[in-house]
Amino acid sequence: MHKIFALRSPSRRVTHVCIATLAMSFVAFAATNTPAHAAGITVTTTADGGAGSLRDAITQANTNPGADVITVPAGTYTLSITGTGEDANATGDLDINSDITIIGAGSGSTIINANGIDRVFDLHSGASALQKLTIENGDVGSTSGGNIRVGSGASLTVSDSVITGGKALSGAGISASGPLTVERTELVSNSAIPIQGTGSTGSAISSGGKNSSLDLRDSLVANNTATGGNAALYMNGNGSVSNTTFTGNASTARTILVESFGSGADITVTFTHITVANNTTDGNLPGLGIAANLISPAALSMTIEGSLFMNNMVSGTSKNCAVENDGVITSGGHNLADDTSCTAFTQTGDLTNNSGTTVGALANNGGPTRTLALITGSSAIDAAGACAGTTPTDQRGFTRPAGSACDIGAYEFQAVDPATTTTTTTIAVTTTTAGSGAGVPTTLPPGPTTPDQVTLPSTGSNSGSGLLLALLFCAFGMLLIRTTRRSVR
C-alpha cells in the first residue's frame, strides 16, 4: 500500500504538468494561428503586372484581411497595361479596395508613372496612405482625378511626396470625394483641362461631396494650370489648409475657390498661415488669390488667419480676395494683403494695401518642400502675434516664433537660416509657364527621411508543432507511470 501511494503522487504531478502544458500550448496555438491582420509585401520588379510587380502587390493586398504595407524600392514604375473603366486592378490605373500603405524610397527615387494611359491610383474603399513617392503623368480626359482619385467610400493620406503632370477635367492632381490629408508634399505642374461647355476645376486638388474633408498642410501648390476654368485648389466641403504656399498657378479665375451651394451643404473651412503669391489669371471673374462663393440656403464659414496675399494678378491688376453671391470671408487676424480687395481684413494685426512685403524666389530653404522666403525688412516678419499655440512650426518644420512674434504666411524668417546648409536631391518634371508670371523652377527636394511603417508578420506560425510535442510528451509520461505501476503490482 505504501508503494502504490508513492506512485500515485508523481502520477498526479505529471497529470497536472500535462494539463498546464497543453493549456499553454493551446493558447499559443490559437493566438499565433489566427489570420494576421496585416502583411508586408515588397515589390521586386518595375514591370507592370506579374509576380513581384506593384500591380500584383496591390491585388494581393486587396484580398488580404486587414491592413497591408507595400514597400516600393527606388526605380521608375511605368503603367503599361492599357484599358480604362474596370475596378479590379487588371488594366489602366491601380485600383485600391482595402487598407493599404505604399512606401517608396523617397520622392526623388521611387516614381510611379501613369504614362498617360489612365490615372495612377483609384481608391474605392479602405483607409490608405502613400508615402515618399513621385506620382506623375496621369491623364483621364474629361473625368476627375488626373493622378489620384479618392472615392466617397475611401480615405487617403499623402506624405512626403510629389504629385505632378496630371491631367483631368477636375482634380488634375488629386480628386477626392472622401477624406483627404496631404502633408509635406509638392503638387506641381498639373493641368485641369475643360471640355466644351464645362469649365475645369482644381488643377492641383478638387475636394468636395458629403463625405469629403481636406487637411492640407506643410505643402507646396505651384505651377498648376486651369485653362478655361477655376482654381488650383477647389473645395466644396469641410477642410483646413495650413503652412502651405500657393505660387505660380494660372487659371481663368481664382487660385483658391471655396463654395457652398444647395441645401444640406453647410461647410466650415479655415486657412492658417498660408502664402498666396505671384499667381495669375486671364479672366474677368472676381477674385484671383482666394474667393468665397455661397448660394443660399447653404451656409459657409470661411476663416483666414495669419496669411499672406501678394502680387496675385487679374489681367495685370492686383486682386487678392473676392466674395461672390452671399459669400463671406472672416478674418482671424494678422493677415497681410498688398491691395485693398481683402475687405474682411479689419481684425487685430491685419495689414491691407501693404506694399512693404517682399519674398524671394521659390527655392529649397530647408524642410521637405520649397518655400517663398521672407526677405529681411519684410513687414510680414514678427507681425502675426503669438501663433505658436495653433501653428508651432512653419511649412518647413522650423519652430515658430523665431523672433519676438510669429511671421505672417507659411514661412518663418530665421536671422541665421539653417536652410543655407541643406543639400538637395533633384528630379526633373515638365515645366509649364504660369500665365504671364515666371515659370516655377522644377527642382524638387526629396521627401525627408522618416521611419517606415512597421511591417507586420504574415499569417502562419510554428506553434502547431509545439502543441503536437506537448501531446506526445504527456502521452509518454502517462504511459511510463502506468507501466511502472503495473510492474510494482
Task: In whole angstroms, give the CA distance from residue 368 to residue 170.
Answer: 27
C-alpha cell at 198: 464645362
SS3 string, the chain, reads: CHHHHHHHHHHHHHHHHHHHHHHHHHHHHHHHCCCCCEEEEECCCCCCCCCCCHHHHHHHHHHCCCEEEEECCCEEEECCCCCCCCCCCCCCCEEECCCEEEECCCCCCEEEECCCCCCCEEECCEEEEEECCEEECCECCCCECCCEEECCCEEEEEECCEEECCEECECCCEEECCEEEEECCEEECCEECCECCECEECCCEEEEEEEEEEEEECCEEECCEEEEEECCEEEEEEEEEECCEEECCEEEECCEEEEEECCCCCEEEEEECCEEECCEECCCCCCCCEEEEEECCCCEEEEEECCEEECCEECCEECCEEEEECCCCEECCCCEECCCCCCCCCCCCCECCCCCCCEEEEECCCCCCCEEEECCCCCCCCCCCCCCCCCCECCCCCECCCCCCCCCCCCCCCCCCHHHHCCCCCCCCCCCCCCCCCCCCCCCCCCCCCCCCCCCCCCCCCHHHHHHHHHHHHHHHHHHHHHHHHHHC
- pLDDT at res. 214: 98
Cell matching residue 6: 508513492
**How many whole angstroms separate alpha carbon 191 and alpha carbon 307?**
26
Q: Say how far residue 95 (Cα) sits from the centre of its chain.
A: 17
| The pLDDT value given to residue 429 | 37
Q: ∠270-273-278 over CA atoms, to 5°?
A: 105
**Plot region of 79 (φ>0 → left; ψ -120 to 50 → alpha; else → beta):** beta
**60-65 CB contacts, 8 Å cutoff, 24+ apart:** 61/96, 61/98, 61/100, 62/89, 62/95, 62/96, 62/97, 62/98, 62/100, 63/98, 64/38, 64/39, 64/98, 65/35, 65/36, 65/37
Question: Residue 287's pLDDT is what?
Answer: 58
pLDDT of 33 reads 39
Q: CB-based contacts of 291: which residues, under 8 Å, 6+ apart?
A: 253, 254, 256, 257, 258, 321, 322, 323, 324, 327
Distance of alpha carbon 308 from alpha carbon 413, whole angstroms: 14
pLDDT at 435: 31
* Rounded CA separation 128/150 (Å): 10
The confidence score (pLDDT) of residue 245 equals 98
Q: Which amino acid is at 295?
A: I
Domain ranges of the chain: 2-33+460-488
For strand 186-188 and strand 148-150, is the pairing parallel, antiparallel, or unpaired?
Answer: unpaired
Q: For each of the chain's 489 residues, which pLDDT tens digit applies?
A: 443 333 344 444 444 444 444 444 443 433 333 333 456 999 999 999 999 999 999 999 999 989 999 999 999 999 999 999 899 999 999 999 999 999 999 999 999 999 999 999 999 999 999 999 999 999 999 999 999 999 999 999 999 999 999 999 999 999 999 999 999 999 999 999 988 667 789 999 999 998 999 999 999 999 999 988 889 999 999 999 999 999 999 998 899 999 998 766 789 999 999 999 999 987 666 557 999 999 888 999 999 999 999 999 887 788 999 998 989 999 999 999 999 999 999 999 999 999 888 999 999 999 999 999 999 999 999 999 998 778 999 999 999 999 999 999 999 999 765 444 333 333 333 333 333 333 333 344 444 433 343 333 333 333 343 444 444 444 444 544 444 444 434
* Structure confidence at residue 315 (pLDDT): 78
The pLDDT, as a whole number, for residue 39 is 66
Residue 212, CA distances (Å) to 29, 175, 209, 244, 382 in order: 43, 10, 5, 20, 35
Q: In whole angstroms, give the CA distance from residue 307 to residue 288.
A: 15
Give residue 265's pLDDT: 72
- b/e per residue, 75-86, with b = 16+ CB within 10 A? bebbbebeeeee
Residue type, position 101, single letter: T
Query: Do 180 and 149 form a contact (C-beta atoms < 8 A)?
Result: no
